[in-house]
Amino acid sequence: MLSLFSEGIFTPHTLLDERVIDVLSAATQRCSGTVRPSDILYSAIDSGDQAVLSGLALALTEGARPQHLLESIAAYNPRSPDGGDFDFDGRRERFAPETLAALDGFATEFARDPDRLRPVCLELLVARVLDHPDAGDRRFLRILDATAAARTLRDQVRVTTEPPPPLLDDAGRLRSEEFSADAWAVLEQSAERAGELGYDRLLPPHCFLALLGETEGLTERLVRLQIPPQLGLAKVAELLGGAFRLSQHGKETPPLHRDGLGEPTLDLLRRARRAATVWGAEQVDTPHLLDALLEDPPPRLASVFRTDPLRVDLARMRELLAQSVRETRTSGPREIAFRLPADSPPAEDLTWLARTQGIPAARHLERYFDTLGRALHRTSDNHVLITGPAGVGTTTLVRELARRAAAGELPFLRRKRLLRVDCRDVPDTDSGAKLARIIAHVAGRTDLVVCLDGLGALLRGPHGTDHVQALRSALKERRIHLIGILSGQEYDDLLAADHALRELTTRIDMTEPDRATARDMVRQAADALEAEFGTEVADRVVDRAVVLSGDYILAQRMPLAAVKVLRRACEDLDYRRTQLGDTRTVVDTDDVVRVIAEMSGVPAGQIAGTGDDGIDYEQALGGSVFGQRDALEVVANELRRIKAGVAGASGGPASVMLFAGLTGTGKTELAKTVAGFYSSSKRLQTYPMENFSEAHSVAGIIGSPPGYIGFERGGRLINELNADPYCVFLLDEAEKAHAEVWRPFLNLFDEGWIIDQRGVKAHGDRAIFILTTNAGQEIIALMSREGRPEEEIVARVKEALLQVGKGAHGGPVFSPEFLARIRRIIVFRPLDLDAMTGICRKLVERQRAFWRDKREKELIVPEALILHAARQGHLRNERSGGKEGGRIVAKILSDLIESPVLLEQQRRKDEFRRCARIELDFRPEGAGADGRGPRTDVRFVAADDSTAPATDSATSIDTDTSIDTGTGTGTGTDGAGHG
């Protein structure tokens, strides 16, 4: 065991370290008979050892300097009056008990690993001395926090003796996670200055120039304290730049890489990291860089500062630096968000967000985190691709990763920074340039994990090209650490066939949560909405939002669909409270129903009647189509199949249906209702197939061939599918199209995808395609009158479809292969009297809404008029063999309602302008002036005359509805129940 005493005599030379031997010898020479701890401390400070001084400086009170420690010790423990002539015999009795305890402890610790500890044995000795102060030290050295100083010195010992993490990664790049944002910016600026001055490597003086260039930075303030007042910082920078300029012609900026960093710079960075550790910082910041420069300044830099006109004392600057750091060391480095260039896609620094504002914890993602953590932790091939439909939580998974990393729950990501880039709206014409710009901007940043949200859009190029090779190259060269978010279809189209890229990445496929899990996730989101809007959202309201949005908003996935519903309900309530004076603070189920009605297009009354067991699709669809119970049942079953998630199992679209039947029976109206119910845009994309009667007209579907006008626009169908994957397409009067037009649909209806002339691919697996046809309408009318079953009528209609077009184009319009790809052929039967009555009621209500909303007048229509119009419509439809359909009702109502009201409006303008209500009195056939037609009496009632009896203000209009005399005006003619 090592001892500093040999046979009771002090023998410090056994340590074989000149620094410690000199300090201990000086302590024995200054002591007054007994060596006290303060003698050793005084000698260590007086030696001028920078490591000891920097450690002590951080533990001094504000305004104090190491020199003040010497003055204090000299006051309460003055040196021996005999000075160097004092005869110190080195016996143990000459040492104070506290000093002996410090020396014995030091010797014991040093003996454990002398070779490793010898370079820092002075720091270790002073730390032991500070651990054992005597009474005088505790009383008079109050400007020094001895415990903090000892801890700092031990940190220096640990940093020096333990192998530090490498500054460079295995690719030779400087590890940016070791540096704060400000320090990294200084290093980047240093490299630029090196290139400007003609250097091909970054050297320490360039770092000082960059530190000096920080706006209102610490280096600027410290230099200002010493330079003559007439000198400005610009002049200082000019003098330094001139001293280190190699050439008037700059060079390329050296990279922050092994090839661009000189060995002196690497030594500087090692010292800076040691200073950061000693000062209790996790990352190297700009003060640590400056301290490393001042600890061992380059000779030429020191010479420029020492000579005229600067005359700067670098040692004094280091003391002031330590004082400044001591005052601010608890604040840590500034938290700065990482930003992409202005012309890049929108981006957010999730790590900065988590540390400064907080990210709420997300639930039910644990099953993905083990795979995600293991993939990111790998030293190679550590990229991740997250796939899944929008709304299931792909972005939330990344935000939760950032939250856990910022909270220290994932230690290997503690110094990493997660940057999310929203690439979902990048057009294919710009995708290549934006991908290259993002990669170029983050290249070399080992602390960045870049999440490209919408990676599929960023990889698709114009005219069917892609940028997969560029991405693969960047991943192989480790220019970017990637988390990509894209749909499963995009993964299959763009990446699944690239074996090399799949080797570089780990795929995590996210699926829609079950309803119970979705409830819990939405409940968490509701808690956040309550805090944001100051409202209350009960569990019952959350349950209804989950059930109803899952049933009615088929174009969106859980949990996002329900969260959107609740957010809008809270926003609407907030509007009513802040703008309309509503005092209610609770979001109820009526608010949820109203929002879902707006988003789905389904009437609120139908939604409100939905029970917890789910939606009655027949009722929801039946509000707009009448007399087609069998057709509604088939379409409702298709929607249930889509909602259950089994529609994509066959590989084709969500559904392909053919509506067959006479005109005006509700085919188009039902298609519109399905679109409002299902499509994201709520619009029915209609293709009148009579416009595709020539073989070349297929260009209207898949685009013009190369070299023809319109080639760049691509195919309309492909563009619309890519714009709204949940689109509903109406291929109207399908039998009028040329057979060649249906050829691209064969693969679309079978495999679920289609390619246009540019090579752009679109998936239709979430779209609904509805074809309508009048082919076989005579068969439908005849067999319906005979009461034939639905299956038999469908079989005969299918036979009729195979005969359509034979002879006209040399072959049938519909091939057997095409008809085999249609999931459902749905028959629309002729309309009976009840159906006509329902259509009449709907059209009358539409007219009433028009007068109420557009003219601010109430229209009163008697029941007798509605029943008469229905009977007349049914009679005329029967006489025409069912060819009139529901459209005839609009014409009849126009004659019975619109024409009389408009005629009286022209005759009695003043009365019409003053009236608040228009009352109609209907008299059936035989009441007209000529004894033939029905008569409609029109009465204008003013707001203050609502109870007055009928007078001459009421005018009788004879309306002959026995013949077709006109078309509807103002309210439209495509009423419910007709297509």
Residue 855 lies in a domain: yes
**pLDDT confidence of residue 950:** 42
Question: How many domains would you assign to the chain?
Answer: 6
Residues of the chain with pLDDT under 50: 84, 611-613, 927-929, 948-957, 960-979
Q: At what angle do helices 560-580 and 515-533 cross, to 10 degrees?
A: 20
Residue 959 lies in a domain: no
Of the three residues 598, 632, 665, the one that is the final residue of a domain is 598
Q: Please give the sequence-ordered ranges of beta strands (E in DSSP) within 284-358, or none if there are none.
A: 347-349
Q: Which of 844, 841, 852 shows the shortest CA–CA distance to 918?
A: 852
Same domain, 11 and 135: yes
Give the three-class secondary structure for 259.
helix
Q: What is the CATH number of the domain that holds 488?
A: 3.40.50.300
Quote the domain boundaries for residue 780: 617-828
Give the tens place of pLDDT for each residue, 442-490: 988 888 999 999 999 999 988 778 999 999 999 999 999 999 999 888 8
Q: Which of 92, 94, 89, 114 shows the shortest CA–CA distance to 104?
A: 92
Same domain, 536 and 668: no
Q: What is the CATH number of the domain that holds 113?
A: 1.10.1780.10
Q: Which of 53, 21, 51 shows the shortest CA–CA distance to 159?
A: 51
**pLDDT confidence of residue 353:** 93
**pLDDT confidence of residue 238:** 86
Residue 466 lies in a domain: yes
Place of tokens 């050439």: 247
The identity of residue 157, as a single letter, is V
Residue 770 lies in a domain: yes
Contact status, residue 953 vs residue 920, Cβ threshold 8 Å: no
Same domain, 467 and 572: no
**pLDDT confidence of residue 830:** 80
What is the radius of gyration, based on Cα positions, of the chain? 43
Phi, psi of 362 (to 5 degrees): -105, 145
Residue 874 lies in a domain: yes
Residue 967 lies in a domain: no
Same domain, 720 and 837: no
What's the CA gap between 188 and 478, in Å, rounded?
19
Of the three residues 464, 494, 509, the one that is the final residue of a domain is 509
**pLDDT confidence of residue 156:** 84
Residue 964 lies in a domain: no
* Strand ranges of the sheet holding 655-661, from the earlier edge strand across to the other edge: 684-688, 728-732, 768-773, 655-661, 824-828
Q: Which of 183, 90, 73, 226 shows the shortest CA–CA distance to 136?
A: 73
Same domain, 504 and 532: no
Of the three residues 540, 566, 598, the one that is the final residue of a domain is 598
**pLDDT confidence of residue 468:** 93
Same domain, 236 and 132: no
Q: Between vectors from CA 946 to CA 943 and to CA 949, what angle results, nearest 5°?
A: 140
Q: SS3 breakdown of the chain: % helix, strand, coil, rounded to 5?
A: 55, 10, 35
Residue 735 burial by CB count (10 A; 0-12/13-18/19+): exposed, middle or buried?
A: buried
Same domain, 816 and 897: no
Give the tens place of pLDDT for each residue, 361-410: 888 888 999 999 999 999 888 999 999 888 888 999 999 999 999 998 99
Same domain, 640 and 771: yes
Same domain, 499 and 524: no
Contact status, residue 831 vs residue 664, Cβ threshold 8 Å: yes
Q: What is the CATH number of the domain that holds 572?
A: 1.10.8.60
Phi, psi of 418 (to 5 degrees): -95, 120
Buried b (16+ CB within 10 A) or exposed e, 637-652: ebbeebbeeebeeeeb
**pLDDT confidence of residue 810:** 59
Q: Between vectors from CA 675 to CA 674 and to CA 676, what angle results, nearest 5°?
A: 95
Same domain, 566 and 589: yes
Same domain, 904 and 798: no
**pLDDT confidence of residue 808:** 52
Residue 612 lies in a domain: no
Same domain, 133 and 246: no
C-alpha distances (whole Å) from 542 to each of 530, 563, 616 are 12, 9, 20
Give the three-class secondary structure for 234.
helix
**pLDDT confidence of residue 656:** 93
C-alpha distances (whole Å) from 541 to each of 302, 518, 589, 726, 836 are 72, 14, 5, 27, 39
**pLDDT confidence of residue 324:** 81
